[in-house]
Amino acid sequence: MSVNILVPAMGESVVDARIGKWLKHEGDAVTVGEPLVELETDKVDLEVPAPQSGVLAKIAHTEGADVKIGEVLGTIEPGTASTTPPGSPSSSANLTTSARSVPATPSVGPPAAAETAAELSTPSPAPRATKDEVPKSVTPGSTSRPESPRPVERETPVGPARPDEPHVPVTPDHPVERIRLSRRRATIAKRLVEAQHTAAMLTTFNEVDMSAVMTLREREKQAFKDAHGVGLGIASFFVKAAVAALREFPHLNAEIEGDEMVLKHYYDVGIAVDAAEGLVVPVLRGADRMTFAEIELGIRAMAHKAQEGSLTLDDIRGGTFTITNGGVFGSLMSTPILNPPQVGILGLHAIKDRPVGVGGQVVLRPMMYTALTYDHRIVDGAEAVRFLVRIRELVEDPGVLLLEG
């Protein structure tokens, strides 16, 4: 009995997906539980397993197609894969399926290919007329010539180009490549634009002397790793400092719903991590109850899952405040964008030795610029500045963070 492969339910607020890649072809044998197709959603990617063993008899939607929950992706029939020799009808069907899976995006070949195409499209010059082809109206010895056809005058369009027209003509000298945005990348773009349109975003900056943290890490890093199996990083200090500061300035741990401000008395801190499809923000649940080791282990696990594409909806859902560290890529200063519906995001940056005044003398210290972007609708400027100052005070005296923890 044949069984349909259906688009599964994928969590709250996810109603459709895009077929990213078929892992099997029509006619292939499959076993129950074996991944058949990869689906891209707005938040995470997931694999759809085979509901039963048999043969993938039909693929209903090719790669790149958008599908909704409950829609049929394909059909599995009982039996085993046939060993049909190449050139047979079923073999041709499989080849056709594979060809359909290639994205139909225009591409530009090498200059030689383009020149060949131009030569094929250029009309060849007409041969000379023979005597028999001379019009009868032309008599021998006459100096008149048959009237040549007048060239057709083409009007050059005036005005701006249409939005869908390329700014630069596609020629061998201007090769281009068009790549369809993945569902996640398109959603990231949409949410970032929405954040700029809906929130009154403002960013304030400060700098932190990282001397005490660097000294502590250097002194304790080996013992910490031996005890917990993970290194002691910078992020855990800022997670601890952020939770302590959020307790003092609760408006930064809130969101706006209609004409109400929802204050959240729990601390689920999102940590922005880089992934192949773009930035994702998995969440440390109950960060206020976590130790330094638990924070470091949680961040490492989330980064690993992001790189291998195994994050789930539960990993990224919710969050009350976000921390993003552009310093790992060398960023000296930036203005992070809010992660709606949150009203605060803390940006960390590269640690650089800079001259600072200490006790009336100029000394070199490892300094980091910090940035806080906040929604000015419910967070006042003075409150945001004091929040960032409190972050600096806590990180510059990590012993206080141990007491806070």
Asked if the structure places residue 126 within a domain, the reply is no
Give me the percent of the chain exceeding a pLDDT of 90: 48
Q: How confident is the model at residue 331, as a pLDDT?
A: 93
Looking at the fold, whether 219 and 81 belong to one and the same domain comes out as no
Residue 299 has pLDDT above 80, yes or no: yes
Q: Is residue 160 part of a domain?
A: no
Q: Is the pLDDT of residue 93 over 70?
A: no
Asked whether residue 114 is assigned to any structural domain, the reply reads: no
Count of the separate structural domains present in the chain: 2
3-class DSSP state for residue 91?
helix
Least confident window among 106-110, 315-319, 341-345, 369-373: 106-110
Tell which of 100, 115, 133 closes a domain.
Answer: 100
Q: Are 84 and 212 found together in one domain?
A: no
Q: Examine residue 30 and state whether it is found in any structural domain, yes or no.
A: yes
Of 13-17, 45-49, 110-114, 206-210, where does mean pLDDT reach its minimum?
A: 110-114
CATH number at 373 reads 3.30.559.10
The pLDDT mean for the chain works out to: 80
**Dihedral angle of Cα 240, 244, 247, 252, to the nearest 10 degrees:** -70
Q: Of 100, 124, 152, which residue constitutes the final position of a domain?
A: 100
User: Considering the domain boundaries, does residue 142 fall inside one?
Assistant: no
Query: Is 194 contained in some domain?
Result: no
Cβ density class 207-229: b for 16+ within 10 Å, e for less: bbbbbbbeebbeeeeeebeeeee
**Residue 11 CB contacts under 8 Å (≥ 6 apart), including other chains:** 43, 313, 314, 317
Last residue of a domain, one of 100, 134, 154: 100
Average pLDDT on 102-120 reads 38
| Number of neighbouring beta carbons within 10 Å of residue 91 | 14
Q: Which residue has the higher pLDDT, 65 or 214?
A: 214
Q: What domain range includes position 277?
A: 200-404
Active-site residues: which are they? 376, 380
Please give the pLDDT value at position 164.
53
Q: Residue 323 pLDDT more than 60?
A: yes
Q: Are residues 250 and 365 in the same domain?
A: yes
CATH no. for residue 13? Answer: 2.40.50.100
Q: Is residue 73 within 8 Å of residue 48, measured between CB atoms?
A: yes
In a domain, 117, yes or no: no
Collect all residues with Cβ–Cβ distance below 8 Å to 27 and sequence separation of at least 6: 55, 56, 57, 81, 82, 84, 90, 93, 94
